[in-house]
Structure formats: structure tokens, C-alpha cells
Structure 1
Amino acid sequence: MSKLKRRPVILGILIHSISNEAILKGNIVPKLGVKVYDEGLNHVGYVSNVFGPVSSHFVAVKFTTDKQYLQGSKFYVME
């Protein structure tokens, strides 16, 4: 029996952040509570909300780390 290999999928691109929360321009529609990873694939938080129309939605991320990210940074989920 082989283990399933998980791969990173782009969740979205950072457009705004304040303290420990961020808003991403969504690339996919994730489930609430799914773990979020930065470009180095370090676990940085979880999806706290998804809002807007499906064709042009936003994803709210609650950070569990104090690291600051620049606008335009990419974030990932594991598939």
C-alpha cells in the first residue's frame, strides 16, 4: 500500500494584512479551517472565511505566526 502524496496548490495572493489576519485574492475555493502554508511551505495559519462571488472571491486567513508578509506573497494549501 502506497501513501498518498500531497502537493501544494496556490490558495491565493496576499492583497492586505493587519496584525495576525490577511485577505487573499483567491485562486481556489478552500474549506474553512484548512491549513495555510507560505512560499517556503511553512504552516502559517488557517482559512477563517471565504467571501465574494465564486468567480472572483477572497479568502481570509488567520495567522498562527508573527511573521510579516509582503503584498503579492503567495499562499498555499495541500491537496
Structure 2
Amino acid sequence: MQLFVSDGAPGNLPVLAAAGRAGARGKLLISTVGPEERVVPFLTRPKLPVLKLDSDRYLFSTSAICRIQNLW
């Protein structure tokens, strides 16, 4: 899985805290991208943070990302 974050994005803190709490270091690659970079190909506007799952699906809800990280 790959987590995309940007400096200053409002949802970064809870997502990164959930990743640290879950101990997802071996399973999760964290990438910092620019605030205007479109990570999710089917969205017309940039949305961060984004979690790209191994199944090539995307989660871009901060709450959903935190919930799935708590399952690890």
C-alpha cells in the first residue's frame, strides 16, 4: 500500500498517527507529493491524503484511511 501526503494537507496528522500506531512500516510506503498533484486518476481535483491499496483502489477519506490502518 502507498500513502500519499502533502505538506500542510489538513488530514495528514490523523492518517500518519494511525499509521504509526498500527506499526505499518513494512506494509506501507509513505510518499510526499505536491499539493496540486493529482494522485487519484479519476478525480478532477487534487485530493490528499490518499491511500492506494494493493488492489489498485484508492481511499481518500481521512476517516476511512484511519479505520483501515487500525485493522493491521
The reply to whether TM is greater than 0.5 is: no
Higher strand share: 1
Structure having the higher Rg: 1
Higher helix share: 2
TM-score if structure 1 supplies the norm length? 0.26
